[in-house]
Amino acid sequence: MSSVQPGSLWVVATPIGHRDDFSARAIATLRAVAVIAAEDTRHSRPLLVHHGIDTPLIALHEHNERDAVDGIVRRLLGGDSVALISDAGTPLISDPGFRLVRAARAAGVRCIPLPGACAAIAALSVAGLPSDRFVFEGFLPAKAAARRARLQELAGDARTVIFYESSHRVAESLADMRDIFGGEREAVLARELTKMFETVIGEPLNDLAAKVVADPDQQRGEHVILVAGRGEEADAKLAEGRRVFAILRDELPPAKAAKLAAVISGAPRKLLYEVGSAE
Ligand code: SAM
């Protein structure tokens, strides 16, 4: 048996904007480990220098993670402690690190979380939407058809849904959410959290989608979109819509039946078409 104790893998959250959202324990750990595996070493260096951290950096990003993992696990087993950071927030949350953590655990290495900023949780904490049950969906697919299909899957979920979105797709995604979840569904856009232009807007999807299209400033920067789960009132409308759709479907083409059932019940047309056609 080797006399060397395996090192630990520290999974360390870094700020999502404000550079002082960095815990004292995170800074001390990053100073103490043998090496820091960073998603983008050039991106992280200024933050680390600002906090007096001069530990050597190695790259661990989505394109090299598969190849880099073996070497890092060998170092851990040889006794080096390693910290994993991503460009912002908590590693593995829409960021690289999953393969490394999985391989390290499989090799018997202790993985220690060092919690801190996460945009999804920061947004949820101020959104004013139900937070007792929520689902994190990360980024929606870039292609419109796949994105809409994913939204259809989520339309009936009673939990608050949290999405990450990039500036060039936020308007498009909000429009799709409005069409699929219904314009009355409550939603929140949390933009540039902890930064100079931090904005948190809560509106029904109809108004939120229109506001973001009308004001290009609202499309800049980084975004979290939160959508309230389907409520009891919506459940009642959907039940009524399904009943009407089932009757009309015998007389009309499905698209026309869904359109009329939506007008009569107030339930979203796309959801009625989707759910009703599957019945
Ligand atoms: N690991 C990060 C975390 O813990 O939140 C997320 C990384 S993911 C690649 C980047 C996305 O997170 C952005 O496109 C945006 O959707 C969201 N995000 C990150 N920082 C943000 C901020 N300051 N304000 C709003 N959203 C942010």
Instruction: Assess contact for 8 and 80: CB atoms under 8 A.
Output: no
Instruction: Assess contact for 12 and 6: CB atoms under 8 A.
Output: no
**Statement: residue 256 has pLDDT above 90:** yes
Of residues 224 and 233, the one with the higher pLDDT is 224
CATH topology of domain 8-117: Cobalt-precorrin-4 Transmethylase; domain 1 (3.40.1010)
Q: What is the pLDDT of residue 158?
A: 94
Q: What is the pLDDT of residue 271?
A: 81
Percent of the chain with pLDDT over 70: 98
- Ligand 1 pocket, mutate which of 11, 98, 118, 164 (most atoms under 8 A from CB): 164
Distance from the alpha carbon of residue 237 to the mean position of ligand 1, in angstroms: 35
Q: What residue's CA is closest to ligand 1, atom 23? A: 193
Distance from the alpha carbon of residue 16 to the mean position of ligand 1, in angstroms: 7
Distance from the alpha carbon of residue 32 to the mean position of ligand 1, in angstroms: 27
Distance from the alpha carbon of residue 87 to the mean position of ligand 1, in angstroms: 9
Band of pLDDT at residue 267, cut at 50, 70 and 90: confident
**Statement: residue 5 has pLDDT above 80:** no
Closest ligand 1 atom, residue 123 Cα = 25
Query: How far apart are alpha carbons 190 and 226 in whole angstroms?
Result: 8
- Calculated CA dihedral for residues 37, 135, 195, 15, nearest 10 degrees: -20
**Statement: residue 226 has pLDDT above 50:** yes
Q: What is the mean pLDDT of residues 27-51?
A: 97
**Statement: residue 2 has pLDDT above 70:** no
Average pLDDT, the chain: 94
Q: What is the pLDDT of residues 58-92, one digit of tens each?
A: 999 999 998 999 999 999 999 999 999 999 999 99
- Ligand 1 pocket, mutate which of 118, 140, 223, 225 (most atoms under 8 A from CB): 223
Domain boundaries, the chain: 8-117, 120-227, 232-278
Q: What is the pLDDT of residue 92?
A: 98
Q: What is the pLDDT of residue 6?
A: 74
Q: What is the mean pLDDT of residues 269-277?
A: 81
Closest ligand 1 atom, residue 190 Cα = 25
What is the DSSP annotation of the chain? --SSPP--EEEE-B-SS-TT---HHHHHHHHHSSEEEES-HHHHHHHHHHTT----EEE--TTTHHHHHHHHHHHHHTT--EEEE-SSBSTTSSSS-HHHHHHHHHTT--EEEE----HHHHHHHHH-S--SSEEEEEEPPSSHHHHHHHHHHHTT--SEEEEEE-TTTHHHHHHHHHHHH-TTSEEEEEESTTSTT-EEEEEEHHHHHHHHHH-GGGGSS-EEEEEPPP-HHHHHHHHHHHHHHHHHHTTS-HHHHHHHHHHHH-S-HHHHHHHHHH-
Question: Measuring CA to CA, which residue among 149, 156, 154, 93 is closest to residue 121?
Answer: 93
88 Cβ partners below 8 Å, 6+ apart? 14, 15, 16, 17, 117, 119
Q: How many residues does the chain have?
A: 279
Query: How far apart are alpha carbons 82 and 36 in whole angstroms?
Result: 6
Token couple for 116: 């801190």
Q: What is the mean pLDDT of residues 9-34?
A: 97
Q: What is the pLDDT of residue 279?
A: 76
Q: What is the pLDDT of residues 128-181, one digit of tens each?
A: 999 999 999 999 999 999 999 999 999 999 999 999 999 999 999 999 999 999
Q: What is the pLDDT of residue 237?
A: 86
Q: What is the pLDDT of residue 275?
A: 78
Q: What is the pLDDT of residues 86-122, one digit of tens each?
A: 999 999 999 999 999 999 999 999 999 999 999 999 9
The amino acid sitting at 182 is G
Instruction: Assess contact for 40 and 96: CB atoms under 8 A.
Output: no
Closest ligand 1 atom, residue 121 Cα = 5
Q: What is the pLDDT of residue 112?
A: 97
Q: What is the pLDDT of residue 1?
A: 41
Distance from the alpha carbon of residue 125 to the mean position of ligand 1, in angstroms: 15
Pocket of ligand 1 (CB under 6 A): 16-17, 86, 88-90, 93-95, 118-120, 164-166, 190-195, 222-224
Query: How far apart are alpha carbons 211 and 214 in whole angstroms?
Result: 5
CATH topology of domain 120-227: 3.30.950
Distance from the alpha carbon of residue 119 to the mean position of ligand 1, in angstroms: 5
Asked if the domains at 8-117 and 120-227 fall in one CATH topology, the answer is: no
